[in-house]
Amino acid sequence: MFILVGLGVGLGPLIAGKILSPHKPDAEKNSPYECGFEAFEDARMKFDVRYYLVAILFILFDLEIAFLFPWAVVIQDIGSAGFWAMMVFLFVLVVGFIFEWMKGALEWD
C-alpha cells in the first residue's frame, strides 16, 4: 500500500501535467537559455568554458555565504571572538571576489 501511494504521489502530478498542460513551443521557448548554445544540437559541440567558470564561482560563493546563517543564529553566544573570526572570513571572501573581478573572471563578452 505504501509503495502504491508513493508511486501515485510521485507519478500523479507528472502525468496530470503532461495531460493538462498546453504544448505550444515557439522560437522564444526554444531559444538558448543561460548556457549560450542551442538546446537541440549536437551534445559534443564546443562552447565557451567561461560558463563553467561563472557556475563554479556562483556555487563557491553560495556555499561560503551559507556559513553566515549558523553564525548569525549563535552570534549572542560566541561573543566578540566569534564576531571577529567571521569578519576575517568575510574579509578573505571579499578579497577573493575583488581578485576574480579584477582578473575578468566575471566578465561575459
What pTM was computed for the model? 0.50
| Contact indicator for 86, 71 with CB cutoff of 8 Å | yes
Answer CATH for 2-103 from 1.20.1290.10, 3.30.1280.10, 1.20.58.1610, 3.40.50.2300: 1.20.58.1610
Read off the pLDDT of residues 24-38 as tens digits, 9 standing for 90 and up.
777 777 676 655 666
pLDDT band at residue 16 under the 50/70/90 scheme: very high
Every domain of the chain and the residues it spans? 2-103
Q: Share the mean pLDDT of the chain.
A: 83
When pLDDT is averaged across residues 70-88 and rounded to a whole number, the result is 89
| pLDDT value at residue 33 | 65
Question: Of 55, 57, 37, which Cα lies nearest the Cα of 46?
Answer: 37
Q: Look-up: residue for cell 556559513? A: 67
- pLDDT above 90 for 4: yes
Q: Look-up: residue for cell 502530478? A: 13
Q: Look-up: residue for cell 556555499? A: 63
